[in-house]
């Protein structure tokens, strides 16, 4: 159905518009590329030639194909040249009145059967469509940046879009080698509606000085496998663009979580718009550069601590589960003597067997030597007696996520451990201060949240309470570095960094599904191909476990009392029904 597209038009030749031109021209379609004046036309031509030149240099495009591609493009500042196009896409700045004005003009230029498309990422397509005399032929065709690389395209159908028009555009997207996802005309569509709530939350976290920009970004990259941290991504998108998208989404949906964080507008007003201006949340080598350079906010190098560190040579671990076993291995491989405590001799032996298997697998994969394996095992001693932790320098508890159990354990550790020993909890959601208040040494208590599997995951969230001593924070940061982990530091509130940013986003995805706005498959596709995330939200929920996810979301809601954090009823219903994800064979999907 898409074969009738032999000539298309693109209005707006910024980075996105020029990328869309390239996509069409690469696929053998003639393109009329329009800008507002001759200078803008030349800038657009430069965008295109720079992109194709890079593709040639990387061996992804031959010189002959590059010449043919550019030969298919007619650059002009005259919109009248669009009269023979079967499809015209606008990619001008996100200003509703500007887009409506362009569509009204196009309506008088192109043939009656030509299709008009907008590349808007957040504005209502319906409002743009009604600026024409025939809104049935208007659709949204939202490409993602960089358009020649990103496979994902959101195809937006309004309540008046004709079915045949919509199908032709969807077919064209497939012809271009894209993966079209069908969505309704709702603010942010799929990808931006989910992405920008998450980005805005990260900005608020930074604005409140809860964590540094570096720690927020490192947490999401290392804890979730995201290709970029949220603040670096904001700089890439452009803070002015991000503000416009969030403001539009808020005005349409009135969701307070989409109300732009005040610091975004302040930074835009100050000209700190991200990479394109050379400064945003980070400072760059030059406007347009991706190279981050040090500024007054850059943290001091690891090891440069302002307070004396406590001596750590002997480590205690309480617990016998997967997390505890991983933590024991991490410390032993790093050269620390480790005493671990389990509830029964069978559990003690189970941990030792699991450690031996894990280290043997590391030997077979060439990740460690037989000598290193034997040395690590020799540093480990198991016991069923908490009293055997009397002379350790730090204790890390990794028992069940039950506050009553943890508080009782910390009472015991307070009585058993020597003065000055650090008491750490691996809790992922419970208040660390509640564990600290069970002791007479709250200054020595800290959160040390490893991620599973601890042997593999580089991230550790170092969580300080209002009582934690500075030297305890510095010592734990130093220990994390010495065992090969990347510490990020934050205050003691629900979710810490990773879960506080991740689970509201997952909850928003469930609400989107619940509203029948899109399918789980399309939402997952949108976030994986549109935002380059390693897993879609529903894939991730099924892996984490819907019961675990619901428990974390309830904690976040109770902590922040934010209406938007209230768990989606659909998630609660699935948990009630026993559909908990992969572990039960059914969650948002059915698993073999």
Under DSSP, the state recorded for 87 is E
Tell me how far apart the alpha carbons of residues 212 and 298 are, in angstroms, rounded to a whole number: 9
* 186 to 16, 145, 155, 196: CA distances (angstroms): 21, 20, 12, 14
Under DSSP, the state recorded for 487 is E
Q: Is the pLDDT at 189 greater than 50, yes or no?
A: yes
Tell me how far apart the alpha carbons of residues 474 and 477 are, in angstroms, rounded to a whole number: 5
Contact 376, 333 (CB under 8 A): yes
Contact 500, 321 (CB under 8 A): no
Q: Is the pLDDT at 4 greater than 90, yes or no?
A: no
Closest CA to 73 of 28, 105, 12, 30: 30
User: DSSP letter string over 267-287?
Assistant: HHHTT--BGGGTBSSSEESST
pLDDT mean over 104-120: 95
Query: CA neighbours within 13 Å on the CB side: how many for 31?
Result: 31
pLDDT of the residue at 334 = 95
Of the listed ranges 254-263, 345-354, 451-460, the least confidently predicted one is 254-263
pLDDT mean over 302-316: 87
Q: Is the pLDDT at 473 greater than 60, yes or no?
A: yes
pLDDT of the residue at 38 = 94
Closest CA to 161 of 215, 115, 199, 101: 115
The three-class DSSP label of residue 424 is strand
Q: Is the pLDDT at 3 greater than 50, yes or no?
A: no
* 582 to 143, 499, 520, 543, 547: CA distances (angstroms): 33, 20, 15, 6, 11
Tell me how far apart the alpha carbons of residues 415 and 396 are, in angstroms, rounded to a whole number: 16
CB count in 10 Å sphere of residue 492: 22
The H or E element containing residue 22 is helix 15-26
The three-class DSSP label of residue 224 is helix
Contact 41, 35 (CB under 8 A): yes
Of the listed ranges 243-257, 339-353, 363-377, 422-436, the least confidently predicted one is 243-257
pLDDT of the residue at 302 = 67
Contact 527, 192 (CB under 8 A): no
CA-CA-CA-CA dihedral for 226, 231, 232, 235, to nearest 10:
140
517: confidence class by pLDDT, cuts 50, 70, 90:
confident
User: DSSP letter string over 342-409?
Assistant: -SSHHHHHHHHHHHHHHHHHHHHTTSS-HHHHHHHHHTEEEES-GGGGTT-SEEEE---S-HHHHHHH
pLDDT of the residue at 1 = 40
At 48-68, the pLDDT tens digits run 999 999 999 999 999 999 999
Instruction: Give helix 370-378 / helix 322-333 axis angle, nearest 10°.
Output: 110
> What percentage of the chain carries pLDDT values higher than 70?
99
pLDDT of the residue at 258 = 87
Residues with a catalytic annotation lie at 121, 142, 154, 192
> What percentage of the chain carries pLDDT values higher than 90?
85
Pairing outcome for strands 337-341 and 422-425: unpaired
Residue 14, preceding peptide bond in cis (omega within 30° of 0): no
Query: CA neighbours within 13 Å on the CB side: how many for 488?
Result: 25
Tell me how far apart the alpha carbons of residues 34 and 102 are, in angstroms, rounded to a whole number: 12
pLDDT mean over 159-185: 91
At 23-36, the pLDDT tens digits run 999 999 999 999 99
pLDDT mean over 415-438: 95
pLDDT mean over 323-328: 96
Contact 257, 200 (CB under 8 A): yes
Helix extents (H) in 288-335: 322-333
pLDDT of the residue at 516 = 87
* 344 to 341, 350, 574: CA distances (angstroms): 9, 10, 35
At 358-396, the pLDDT tens digits run 999 999 999 999 999 999 999 999 999 999 999 999 999
The H or E element containing residue 153 is strand 152-157
* 444 to 36, 174, 422, 434, 493: CA distances (angstroms): 64, 59, 5, 13, 18
Residue 22, preceding peptide bond in cis (omega within 30° of 0): no
Q: pTM of the full predicted structure?
A: 0.88
CB count in 10 Å sphere of residue 357: 11
At 551-584, the pLDDT tens digits run 999 999 999 998 889 999 999 999 999 999 999 9
At 93-104, the pLDDT tens digits run 888 999 999 999
pLDDT of the residue at 97 = 94
Name residues whose C-beta falls within 8 Å of residue 376's C-beta, 6 or more positions apart in sequence: 329, 332, 333, 355, 359, 368
Average pLDDT, the chain: 93
At 480-498, the pLDDT tens digits run 999 999 999 999 999 999 9
pLDDT mean over 465-487: 96
Q: Is the pLDDT at 2 greater than 50, yes or no?
A: no
At 281-305, the pLDDT tens digits run 999 999 989 999 999 999 887 666 7
Q: Is the pLDDT at 125 greater than 60, yes or no?
A: yes
For residue 83, count CB atoms less than 10 angstroms from its CB and return exposed for 0-12, middle for 13-18, buried for 19 or more: middle
């Amino acid at each position: 159905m898409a074969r009738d597209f032999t000539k298309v038009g693109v209005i707006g030749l910024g980075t996105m518009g020029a990328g869309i031109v390239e996509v069409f021209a690469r696929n053998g379609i003639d393109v009329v590329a329009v800008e507002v004046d001759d200078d803008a036309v030349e800038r657009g031509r430069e965008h295109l030639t720079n992109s194709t030149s890079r593709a040639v240099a990387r061996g992804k495009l031959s010189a002959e194909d590059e010449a043919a591609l550019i030969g298919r493009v007619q650059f002009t500042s005259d919109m009248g040249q669009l009269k023979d196009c079967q499809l015209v896409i606008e990619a001008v700045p996100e200003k509703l009145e500007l887009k409506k004005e362009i569509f009204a003009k196009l309506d008088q230029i192109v043939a009656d059967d030509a299709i008009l498309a907008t590349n808007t990422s957040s504005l209502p397509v319906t409002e743009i469509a009604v600026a024409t005399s025939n809104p049935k032929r208007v659709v949204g065709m939202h490409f993602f940046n960089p358009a020649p690389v990103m496979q994902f395209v959101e195809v937006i159908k309004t309540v008046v879009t004709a079915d045949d028009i919509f199908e032709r555009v969807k077919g064209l997207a497939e012809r271009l080698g894209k993966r079209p996802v069908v969505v309704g005309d709702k603010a942010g569509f799929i990808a931006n509606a989910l992405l920008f709530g998450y980005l805005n939350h990260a900005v608020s976290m930074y604005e409140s000085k809860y964590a540094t920009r570096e720690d927020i970004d490192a947490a999401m990259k290392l804890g979730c496998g995201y290709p970029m941290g949220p603040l670096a991504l904001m700089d890439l998108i452009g803070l002015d663009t991000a503000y416009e998208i969030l403001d539009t989404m808020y005005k349409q949906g009135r969701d307070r979580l989409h109300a732009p964080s005040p610091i975004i507008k302040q930074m835009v007003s100050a000209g700190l718009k991200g990479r394109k201006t050379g400064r945003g949340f980070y400072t760059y080598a030059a406007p347009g550069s991706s190279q981050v350079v040090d500024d007054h906010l850059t943290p001091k190098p690891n090891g440069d601590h302002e307070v004396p560190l406590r001596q750590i040579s002997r480590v205690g671990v309480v617990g016998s589960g997967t997390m505890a076993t991983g933590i024991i291995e991490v410390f032993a491989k790093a050269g620390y003597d480790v005493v671990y405590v389990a509830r029964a001799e069978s559990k003690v032996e189970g941990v030792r067997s699991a450690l031996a298997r894990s280290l043997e697998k590391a030997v077979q994969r060439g990740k460690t030597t037989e000598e290193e394996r034997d040395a690590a095992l020799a540093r480990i001693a198991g016991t069923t007696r908490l009293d055997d932790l009397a002379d350790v320098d730090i204790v890390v508890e990794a028992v069940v996520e039950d506050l009553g159990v943890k508080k009782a354990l910390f009472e015991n550790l307070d009585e058993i451990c020597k003065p000055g020993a650090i008491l750490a909890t691996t809790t992922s959601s419970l208040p660390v201060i509640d564990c600290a208040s069970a002791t007479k040494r709250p200054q020595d208590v800290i959160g040390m949240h490893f991620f599973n599997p601890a042997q593999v995951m580089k991230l550790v969230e170092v969580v300080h309470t209002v009582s934690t001593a500075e030297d305890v924070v510095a010592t734990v940061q130093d220990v994390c570095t010495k065992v090969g982990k990347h510490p990020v530091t934050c205050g003691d509130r629900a979710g810490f960094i990773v879960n506080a940013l991740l689970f509201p986003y997952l909850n928003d995805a469930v609400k989107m599904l619940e509203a029948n706005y899109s399918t789980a498959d399309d939402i997952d596709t949108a976030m994986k191909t549109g935002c380059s995330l390693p897993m879609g939200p529903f894939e991730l929920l099924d892996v984490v476990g819907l019961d675990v996810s619901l428990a974390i979301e309830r904690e976040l809601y109770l902590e922040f009392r934010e209406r938007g954090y209230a768990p989606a009823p659909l998630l609660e219903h699935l948990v009630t029904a026993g559909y908990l994800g992969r572990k039960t064979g059914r969650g948002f999907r059915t698993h073999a």
